[in-house]
Every structure is written in structure tokens, then in C-alpha cells.
Structure 1
């Protein structure tokens, strides 16, 4: 895993030495993504500069160094990620260029030669992996910026002062011209609704994400237009989810998962796995252990609050599988060491507070390993979230209300404060939530509400098309795969892991697995009448682990943030609330804080969203 950065100068007075200094400053900002080496290159005929930070995983020699030139000297590439079917690429290359010889054993070299010999589109059709790529075609004078199919690896792009720039993280753009950056009001509005910033937006106006499964190709003339919208308008799809075909079975799925796990176990550095004790991570660990000649290393996080702690379940599964397991217990003192750095880790406001144990888990795993496999993707691909089933019940309940009474009924239920419901033994937060769903007018709006951290904020529009033939469960999975997964889950894991220089691989997000899963009818993914999904994964796991170890409610990966904010984090939060930033009206967020401390409402999720934005703003000097 690595970090990439580059820029195209529109400043005619910039000389080579100044350009070299700038690209080095850009890569210095992401040293954590690649602490092993760095490399830089500039084109002699155009003001293009490329930079790379290397975390050595495959081929630790200089033969894997970047930026890398193709053997025909037409292409130069910087690459962040892993290609898991390198052998397949080599065979395809050999059919048309059997004389090809490689300097080393890195997937980077094979990928680059594939672009040179097979072509851009054919290579993208073949490769399986996670990646962000910048490929410069010296002959055509075109720059190709490419992001993997599901959005595992980040890639930002846009104009920053007199430069057209791109990078793995936003912090790499700051050395170019930080004073020119402005906060995007639209991105900030969406952040306050979701707690994350959806693609294609970033927190900076005019800086965008390359969307998953997309490629942006730019010529010199394109860049010289200085049109900020080309970063969006010229992005083209090279892969998209096919939801029309059905008919796969679990036997094929087993073979598919065995293969994808095995491919992700290829590494020239120590390797392990995250094991929470849930279905997804347990299955990945089981398939790893089955294909390993020695106990694999597994890691889990524990909380002092037993209601949130899954570590004992993980330990029992690890013992049954025979892994070399480590549990790391997180407490308030440990979080205080992590929280001040969150704005550095995530670059832009991000408020999924499972970010805290995720960073702690990555820090622990990094002590022994450089690569870790995870179970990310199982819920979105195999219909696993509880909220899918909860929403179906809520909407069925809502349908019983006449349209003319829905708004009235909702207002009546929301009128008493949550604290009053709590005093009479009811769950006030849940009742307020149900009241909100009663008045939702459409299914997709209700789905977005399940993702919201603050439903008082005006709901944004979905920025992608949803196939009309999908049923309710499939529609929720589709929205999550295009929104919550790439912009929350994968952002959280990528930044947390790379901040600690750890590479995380996700077999359940393999392109083949996703395509295979979407060919399975929804009936094969859910347990009818039981309010739960991931049936094929559960059935496979039962071949490795006794059912009594896994047949239990999912607890999630959530720290007791509400208790922490009322405990040792109270002073830290109070200081952030009282510091003026121009992001929020001071009186409103002080009232939010007071209502939380008094127990009037349980608004800790919305409050954490405010705190993360305040922390980000205080530590950034851009004009808000």
C-alpha cells in the first residue's frame, strides 16, 4: 500500500527546482501511507510532476520502486494498492508478447506492462484489486486517473491555486496553495446529515473524489481550460454493478471466497486478520486458517462495557480455529490519546465514532503485521444490516396510517421530549425515530433517514440512479454499496489503517464476490421471518465453527461515546463547543450540549458530528 500525489502547473514561472520541491512537500504530507521509500518524477516537455510514497508489501527490492516506467517508455505510473490476480494478467500479456521479461516480482510492474501491451480498458476489465492510479501517456499527452471498482482506495482531484492536482489524501494538496482553498457549503451540509461527505464531493470547494469504478482522462487542453467541473464531467464509468442477472449457488460462493482469501494472503511481509467474532470476520479468518500451515495472527478490540464488548466471542472463535489471537481493550484514557489526532487522520470532517476503536485496532495489529484481512462488505453485499429489516417493519407500520394523518401522528409522537418517555419506561429516542419514519413520503428517503446522524437537517438528494426493478432489500443494499460503504466504512478503514502504515485487505469486497452475490436471489440471502440476513455466509461459517458460537445478536463496533462524553471527555468537548469557528451558531450547539448533559435528549451522534467538525475547523486555517 502506498500514497500518490501529483500536479500539473499552470504557473508559467514555475521552474523545475521549485516543482521538485513542491512535489516532495506533497508526498511528505502522506509519509504515513508509505514510510519505506519515496520517489518523484517530472515530464521534460510538460509541467507535470508525480510523487509516490511506498509501503513495501510485494517485491521489497528497488525493482518495485515508483514512479515506474513501462518497458516501451511510453507510460509512467504511480500506483496505490494491490492487484490480486497478477498471475492472470501475466498470462494475458504472454499471449501477445511472450518475450516480455520483468525486472522484479511486483504487481506494479505487471500492471504497468498490461496497460502498455493490452491497453487501458482491457486491463481494467481484467484486474481484481484495490487501487488508485495515475497513468501518464507520454505519447498522447494524456493523464489517466483511476479508482478501483468499490472505492477502497481514495483519490482526490481538482484545481488548487495555479495547479491542477491529485492525491491520495487532501493534506497533500495543502502545500500547493492552501490560501486558495474554501470550504464547500454543499459538502458541509451533507456532512451534517450523514456524518460523512459523499462522493463526488470533498470538504474543499472545487476539489472532488474520483468516484469508485471511474476513470478521469485529461489532455493538456482539458487542464488548461481551468474549468473546475471537468474533474466531474469527464469521469467515465469502467465498472458498474450488474443487478439484472440471478442464479448463483452457495457451492460456487465457497470456491469464490476460498480463492479471493488465498489471493489476499500473498505478501512478502507479516500478515494477520481482524476478528470481531461476527460472521464476516470469523469466516475470513476461518478460510485463512484453512489455507495456512501455521496459526494466523488475529486481532480484536474489547470495551469495558460488557454490553458493547464482543472480544470474548472473538476469543472463543479464535481458540476453536486455532489462531494466534490478541485482544486489545480500549478505555477512556486510550481514546484521549487518539481523539486529538482524528482531524489529522481524516483530513475532512468525519464522525463515525467507530473510527476510534478502528485506529486502536490498527495500531495494535501494526506491532506484529503489515497486512491485515478484514470482513468489511459482508453486510452491504449479503443483506446483513439490522436496519434493513427494521425499516421494512417500520414502513409496513407506517402504511397503516392514512396519508392525511401521517404528519399529525408523527408530530404527536415527537411532541414529548425523549426524557419524558424515558421516565415512564419507554425508549424516547426510538419513539422519536419511529415518528420520523411515519411521515417519510418515499422508500429511498426512508433509507437515507436510517443513515442520518441528524434528521433535523434537510435531507440531500441521492446522487446516483437506482435500478427500478430492485426490491426493498436490494434497493437498500444498492444505496449502501454506492454511498455508506465507500464514503463511510471504507474511508474509516483506509485512513485509520494507513495512518498506522498498515494495509487492510477485504476479500468480501472482491469484484468477483460482489458480482457473484448480486446474481444470488434475495431469498437465498435472508432467513425468512427471522429478521436477519447473510444466510450463505452463516451457512459456510457453520462448516468451521459450532453454531452456538455464532448464533447470537450482532453487537457492532461501537464505543460507548455517550458515556465518554459525560466522563473524561467532557472538558475536551466543552472546549470545542465554546470555541468559535463560524461553522455553527454558538447558541445552537451550546443548547445541543446542554440538552445532552441534562438527559433531555439522546443526541450524542449529532453532537459527535459537531465536535468532529469543530476539531477539524480549529486545526485548519482555510477561510470558512
Structure 2
């Protein structure tokens, strides 16, 4: 995946201050090295008085412009109407003519960095779905930025202190949700956001947000034809001229991409899937059936526990902040298999569920919402007293189930979504050291969810859930997971289902076309009937889930890695030692599938700490072959 980095003003001499060690070109080299450390993408750089930019990307994903102190770098595959083949120059011209309006004119996946060193201005922006990342830090009137926190931290002026609240948020979400990062005073742009920096002051804004239209449903046939056309166009744009393949799990989204890739490519698509030798996790039959139906050339690999052990430290190194989704492991091995097959770019189906209504929890929330529609007197005067006060002791299974249903249904949204949150279930006070807990706001994660959910007030519940998942599930978790896994494997990745035109189309769909009672994405499935096999349309969303709990109980190597990591974590005074002992000695043996997730989350936290502490940056005086262009 590579990326972009640079600064405006950092390193200039000020009155009463010395110049930081190292020439600007060496500081830029230190940052840029972090961008291509894993995939070896070519580096290109620009330098001007008080500003610097570097892009690491393969052909077609790096766009640079430099003239009269105006530097522009775009990473990704952006489109700009009328740009021709030189989108960076077109962006520079649009900036000079219309200023910040240039952000809204861009489409496609991108990270934009524009430096106007003459006027002391900078503009940063990321695409509407957040396919590409940008972090920034303002220090003493200067601006540092990078798509990778590791690259940003390589600048000598970067602040490196960790943020306790972000570490807490990681334990809650298993990722660090934006706009915060794991480092203090370092922020990440959210999807559709920009940062305008001018003479030492930064202003953050939103140039785009999804606009749901909940008007009456339009006729099916023209909508179906429009969707098919948009899918083909999106896959064609995402594929480009690279040797391209697609992830294939056998579900609706990945099967759709495989089918469309075969259509637009004029040859059978190359598809790749992962399995496990563990019942309940191994689903190669779905992928094979989908591959046979769409006529793709299919490849499979079964991930072993030994491969998981080998991948853990490598993944901890490529992620620039703690990341606890174990599905990164199979995503990496799938991308590595594609790379060995000569594929340089993979297409992923991420985003389809969050646009068209494909997650199982949407149906569950629809069922729970029915309780709210019962008369208040029936709920409060009869059902709740009966189940919570009168029926005590041993209760029949049906009554226990009814009580659990009401316990969740009475929670307000979005707190209801977190009723199974691991950290909340254990209790933060039982998990975390008292001194660490005193430094953080334990209610902040839920507050962050509630604030985002309130922004979609007035919409149907399904669209409110989709908007929330686009932000937290997709941009904070799923996209970083696949991006980093592919970067480690040396493969680019594209997300056709997040094409801007498809996102706009999905926003115009009537709510009942995304969730009809408890039927998930009814419109999408009906529109693709005939294109996809019935197994793909019926398959429940699963992804490349990893049998962590199973292997933690049965594989000595993974056990040793996890137990050693959690033992080392005790010394950091974040997680209580007695909780770790209870987790490993009592909880994990009783329910490995459930508690194995927390073991993995804590192991990856310690692995990330270890990688951070052993990382060695080259000295300022180091030499390397790097083209430095003066703007």
C-alpha cells in the first residue's frame, strides 16, 4: 500500500532556536523509508523552502507536481474531471482557482497533500470512504503528516508520547478509532475530511458526507440495470492495468467482484481464498462453488497454527498502532498467495455489507426494536416486573431467553450494540490497573459511538446503523486490516464496492431494500440473482475468521507466544496481573472461542509494544538512493 509523508515549516530556523539535526533531505529520507519498508514501492520526493513531500507507491498510484513553491502529492487512484493524465497538476490549478473546493472535486481513493510554501499553507485530505489514511501533528507552528504513524514518528520533531485514552479505546474496540491515534497530539483524518493549515493554525473540516435519500422506492428493473452497470464500471476502474485478482470467500460481495472482474477483463478472473483445518471455520466449498459459477481460476490455501505464530510479529510491525482483529492473519496469507501467483493488485469486497445492509446485527437490531413499539403500559407494568422481579430462581429456558431479549431491548441505541462488548463484560475495574484507569474516561468509547449515531438522527434505523458501521467498522477496522495485510505481502488493494458512484447509489436505495423485516440486503441479492450462485446469496457473512480459541488450547507454539506476551504485558501496569492469570487459567479453558478473543487482543498489544521498542531508525547521516527534486 505504501503512502505519503512530509511537512510544512518543520526544521526551519527560528529566533533563539537551533536547527534540528540533519539536512531536510535526510529527515525526509527517514520518514519515507517507513513508507516502503514492507512492500519496497518506489519513492519519489519533492523539496521546497520550508516544505517537503514524499510518496511511495507503485506505477499508477503516485502523482506529483512541483512549481514555484507549490508542491502536490496524491497517493492512490483519484479522478478529477478534466485532469487528463496529470491529476496532480490539475489539482494545483484548481487549488489556485478555487481553494478548498478542490477536495470535493476529487473522487476515487486518495490521500492528498498540498504544500504552498510561499504562502505558508497546506491542505491535507482523504477520500470519502477512508480507503487511504493521513495522520498529522501540529508542533510549534509547524505541520507534520504521513499516511503511516511510523513515518510521522521518524521525523525528529514528532511527539512520541502514547495516549492512555487511545490504549483504553483499543481494549474496547480492538482498534484505535479516529480521529485519535495512539500518540498524543496526533490525529487522523476521518473519511471525507480535510485539514487546512495556514501560517501555524490548523482548521479541520468535512468536504463530503453520505446523504441518504429515504424517499419512496423506485421501480426495480431500472435500478437493477443501473447497479450492474455501476458494478462493472467500478471494477474496471479499480482493476486498472495491473495483474489483478480478487479475494473470494464465497459470499455475496466477493462473489460479485469475481463475476464482474471476469466480465470486464475479458478473461477468467483469478481468485484467492483461505481455509482452516478446523470445523466451523473452514468454508472452502462456498468459494469453490462461487468460483465454478463465475468461471474464475481459483486458488486456496489453508492457514496453519504454525503460520499464525510466524505472522504475529510481522503483523505487529506493519500496523503502526495496536490492532486486534485476528482476521488480518488470513488476509495476509491470502495476499501472499496472490503475490506468489504474479498478482500485484487484489480487489476486496469490503463495504458492500455497510452500504447494502449485509450484517447479521442489522436483523437482530430490527427484532429488538420491535419491543419499543409495544405499549409502554404493557412493557413497564407487566412484562418487565414479571421477568425481572417476580420470576426468580430457576426459570424455564423460554423465560430466560425472553429476559435476555428485554435486557437488550431496553438499552438505548447505540449502547444496545455493545451489550456483548468484552471489556464491558469483564468490567474495566477487573481488567485494568487502578492507576491506568484513573487516567482515562471509561465512558468515552460509548460516548464516541453515541455522538456519531446522533449525527444521523431522523433517518431509519437501518441507515443509521449503516452510517455508524461505515465509520467505525469499515474505516477504523476493516480497511486498515486489509490495507496493512496486503502491504506486508507486497500487494496493492482496491475496493470497488466503495466506488463513489456506488456509494451514492446505495444512499438512494429505500430502507426496505436494505432490510426487509429481517431479510438482509433484499435488493442487492435480487438484482444479482443469475449473476451469482444461490449459495453465495444464501451464505451468511463470515469473512476470514480465525479459530484463535481452538488453537490457543491445542497448539503449543501459539500458546507459548500468547502466554509469554501476556506475562510481559503485566509489567506495563495497564492490565491487572490477576486478570491475566484468571483469563488464562479459568476463562480460556471454559470457553476458548469467546475468551480467546481477549487473549489475542492483549497479545497483539504487547507484540506492538515490543515492535515499537525494538524499531531502529537509520541515523540522519545515512545515505540511500533517493531522488530529491527541488520544487
Relative to structure 1, the CA distance from residue 2 to residue 402 in structure 2 (aligned partners, 3 Å threshold; closer, same or farther) is same
TM-score (norm 1): 0.83
Residue 609 of structure 1 corresponds to 601
Task: Give, in angstroms, the shift of residue 82 of structure 1.
Answer: 0.8
Aligned position for 2:530: 543
Instruction: Give the equivalent residue in structure 2 for 1:18.
Output: 23
Instruction: Give the drift of 1:604.
Output: 2.3
State the distance in 2 between where 1:344 and 1:53 align: 18
What is the DSSP-based 3-state SS (H/G/I as helix, E as strand, rest coil) of the residue aligned with 2:579? helix
Aligned residues of 1:271 and 1:372 also touching (Cα < 8 A): yes
Provide, for residues 442-471 of structure 1, a one-character-per-residue CA deviation record: whole Å limited to 9, x for no partner: 122113446766543444213434222112
Partner of 1:156: 135
- Determine if contact 2:91/2:102 at 8 Å carries over to the other structure: no
Of the two structures, which has the highest relative contact order with CA contacts closer than 8 Å and spacing of 6 or more?
2
Give the alignment partner of residue 66 of structure 2, picking from 54, 64, 69.
69
In 1, Cα distance between equivalents of 2:244 and 2:535: 29
Bigger drift between 171-180 and 377-386 goes to: 171-180
Q: In 2, are the aligned partners of 1:305 and 1:560 still within 8 Å (CA)?
A: yes
Of residues 559, 562, 566, the one that matches 2:546 is 559
User: What is the number of residues matched between the two proteins?
Assistant: 574
Q: Contact 1:32–1:500 at 8 Å: present in 2 too? A: no
Q: 1:175 to 1:241 in 2, by over 3 A?
A: same
Match of 2:520, SS state, is coil
- C-alpha distance 373-109 of structure 1, shift in aligned 2 (>3 A): same
- Judging changes above 3 Å, is the alpha-carbon distance between structure 1 residues 160 and 376 closer, same or farther for their aligned structure 2 residues? same
Match of 1:364 in 2: 337
- Secondary structure class of the residue paired with 2:6: strand
Cα gap change, 1:40/1:137 in structure 2, threshold over 3 Å: closer, same or farther? same
Deviation at 1:564, TM superposition (A): 1.5
Counterpart-to-counterpart distance in 1, 2:53 and 2:389: 56
**Secondary structure, counterpart of 1:9 in structure 2:** coil
Q: Partner of 2:484 in structure 1?
A: 495
SS at match of 1:89: coil
Deviation at 1:127?
2.7
Q: 1:450 to 1:542 in 2, by over 3 A?
A: farther
- Give the unaligned 5+ runs of structure 2: 429-441, 615-631
Structure 1 position 111, deviation (Å) = 4.8
- 8 Å contact from structure 2 (residues 48, 69) kept in 1: no
Query: What's 1:226 paired with?
Result: none
Counterpart secondary structure, 2:83: helix
The answer as to 2:296 corresponding to 1:323 is: yes
Bigger Cα displacement from structure 2, 611-620 vs 211-220 = 611-620
Q: Determine if contact 1:30/1:53 at 8 Å carries over to the other structure.
A: yes
For residues 234-259 of structure 1, give each alpha carbon's deviation from its aligned partner in whole angstroms, at most 9, with x where no partner exists. 11111111124545533322222222
SS at match of 1:200: coil
The answer (yes or no) to whether the contact 1:75–1:136 under 8 Å persists in 2 is yes
Separation in 2, partners of 1:165, 1:122: 23
Looking at structure 2, the residues matched to 412 and 167 of structure 1 have their Cα atoms a distance apart, in angstroms, of 59
Structure 1 residues not aligned, in runs of 5+: 59-63, 92-104, 223-229
Note if 1:341 corresponds to 2:341.
no
> In the alignment, which of 80, 90, 93 is matched to residue 83 of structure 2?
90
Name the structure 2 match of 1:437: 408
- State the distance in 2 between where 1:353 and 1:415 align: 39
Out of 284, 308, 314, the residue aligned to residue 257 of structure 2 is 284
Q: Quote how far apart the aligned CAs of 1:40 are.
A: 2.6
Q: Distance in 1 between matches of 2:290 and 2:595?
A: 35
CA distance in 2: counterparts of 1:414 and 1:593, whole angstroms: 33
Structure 1 CA distance for aligned equivalents of residues 82 and 70 of structure 2: 17
> How big is the alpha-carbon RMSD for the aligned residues of Structure 1 and Structure 2?
3.3
Question: Partner of 1:4 in structure 2?
Answer: 4
Task: Compute the displacement of 1:331 (Å).
Answer: 1.2
Question: In 2, Cα distance between the equivalents of 1:489 and 1:551?
Answer: 22
CA distance in 1, matches of 2:550, 2:126: 39
| Counterpart contact for 1:6–1:51, Cα < 8 Å | yes
The equivalent position to 1:192 in structure 2, one of 171, 176, 182, is 171
Kindly state the Cα deviation for residue 432 of structure 1 after the two structures are TM-superposed. 11
Is it true that 1:618 corresponds to 2:618 in the alignment?
no
Choose the corresponding residue for 1:379, options 327, 340, 353: 353
Equivalent in the alignment of 2:224: 250
Of 584, 590, 596, the residue aligned with 1:593 is: 584
Q: Does 1:302 align with 2:309?
A: no
TM-score (norm 2): 0.83
Whether the 8 Å contact between 2:409 and 2:416 is mirrored in structure 1 is no
- Contact map agreement 1:33 1:54 (CA 8 A) in 2: no
Q: Secondary structure at the match of 1:588?
A: helix
Deviation of 1:90 after TM superposition, in Å, equals 3.1
Asked whether the equivalents of residues 11 and 24 of structure 2 are also in contact (C-alpha less than 8 Å), the reply is no
**Map of 2:432 onto structure 1:** none
* Closer/same/farther in 2, CA of residues 28 and 436 from structure 1, 3 Å limit: farther
The whole-number CA distance in structure 1 between the counterparts of 2:545 and 2:423 is 14
Q: CA–CA distance in 2 between the matches of 1:576 and 1:432?
A: 39
Q: Which residue of 1 aligns with 2:618?
A: none
